[in-house]
Amino acid sequence: MPELPEVETVRRTLNALVKGKQIENVTVRLPRIIIRPDDTQAFAHMLAGHSIVNVERRGKFLRLVLDGLVLVSHLRMEGRYGLYQAGEPLDKHTHVIFHFTDGTELRYNDVRQFGTMHLFQPGEDLTLPPLVKLGQEPLEPSFTAGRFKEIVSGKSTKIKSLLLNQEYVVGIGNIYVDESLHRAGIHPELSAKALTGEQLDRLHHAIVATLTEAVDAGGSSIKSYVNGQGESGTYQQQLLIYGRKDQPCSVCGTIIEKSVVGGRGTHYCPSCQQPSAH
C-alpha cells in the first residue's frame, strides 16, 4: 500500500498534470470505487463543469480540490492515475474516467479494485469519514518533538502499532515504520510509554528524516507503485531494514531478523534495536 512518500509523489505529479483543467463529464465503469454519493450518476453529475484548483494530501489520501467540491481518493493497494488523450485505448482496469474540456482524460486504474472515492462539499470532507479521525501530519512544522511526546504519552501500545495507527500520526505504513524504528535504534515491540525522552527525540527525528528522504526520492517502488506520470520511485534502493531479512545490518553487521508485530511482518536488527527501553 502506498504510504505518505508515495501518495505525496502522486500528489505532486498529478497536480502538475491536471491543475486548472475543467471536467466535462465523468464515466464510472466500476461503481464500487465510488463510496460517496452512493449513486454513481449523481457523482458524475455533481462533478461535471467543475475545475481542478489543486491536488492536496491528507495522510495517505489524495484531496482533489475543485471549485466548489472536494474529491477524496484513496489508492489502497494498487490504484493509480494517468493522463491520456481522449480516444487512447482503455485498459480493462480503468474504472473511472474524468473527461476534460481540453480533450484529455484523467483515468483511474486499479487492478485490485480496493481504491475508494468520496465526493464532498468544501469543508465537509475534514469533518466526516474517511478523513475525520486522522491524526498529526508528520511533515508539517506542527509535528515537533514535543507534539510527538504528547501523542505517545502514557500509551501502553507497542510503539510499532502506535505508529501504524492513523489516528495518532498519519502516513506511516509498514515500510517507513520499520525504517524509522531501525534508524532510531528502537525495538518495535517496546511499549510506547516505556520509551525515554531521548528515545522519543531520536524516533521523532528518524520519522521526519526518513519520510523527507523518501519523498525526495519519489517514494519506494515496491510491487507496482508508480507516480502520476507512470514513473517509479527509487527509495527502495535506500531502505536499510525493510525487506532485508537475513542480510547484515548496515550499521553493525548483525543479521537482520523478521518477526510479526501486531499482525504485520516486521524487520529489525537484534543488536541495534534491543528489546529493553534503556
Tell me the C-alpha distance between 110 and 33, whole Å.
9
SS3 76: coil
> Has 11 been annotated as catalytic?
no
Tell me the C-alpha distance between 125 and 134, whole Å.
12
Q: 117 or 272: whose CB is closer to Zn ion?
A: 272
Residue number closest to Zn ion, CB atom: 249
269 in contact with Zn ion (CB under 5 A): yes
> Has 78 been annotated as catalytic?
no
Catalytic residue among 3, 6, 105, 179: 3
Residue with grid cell 455533481, as numbered in its chain: 46
Q: Does residue 155 have a known ligand-binding role?
A: yes
Q: 75 or 272: whose CB is closer to Zn ion?
A: 272
Tell me the C-alpha distance between 129 and 57, whole Å.
15
Q: Does residue 93 have a known ligand-binding role?
A: yes
Q: Kindly write down the DSSP assignment for every residue of 176-242, as one continuous string.
A: HHHHHHHHHT--TTSBGGGS-HHHHHHHHHHHHHHHHHHHHTT----TT---TTSPPP-GGGG-SST
Q: Which of 44, 75, 249, 261 binds Zn ion (CB under 5 A)?
A: 249
Q: Between residue 181 and residue 240, which ones bind Zn ion under the rule CB under 5 A? A: none
Catalytic residue among 11, 36, 57, 60: 60
> Has 179 been annotated as catalytic?
no
Q: Which of 16, 42, 86, 252 binds Zn ion (CB under 5 A)?
A: 252
**Number of residues in contact with Zn ion under rule CB under 5 A:** 7
251 in contact with Zn ion (CB under 5 A): yes
- Segment contacting Zn ion by CB under 5 A, of 51-59, 167-175, 202-210, 249-257: 249-257
Q: Please, are residues 144 and 247 in contact by the beta-carbon 8 Å criterion?
A: no
> Has 105 been annotated as catalytic?
no
The 10 Å Cβ neighbour count of residue 102 is 12
Q: Which DSSP category does 111 fall into?
A: S
**Contacts to Zn ion by CB under 5 A:** 249, 251-252, 254, 269, 271-272
State the binding site for DNA. Answer: 93, 112, 155
Catalytic residue numbers read: 2-3, 60, 264
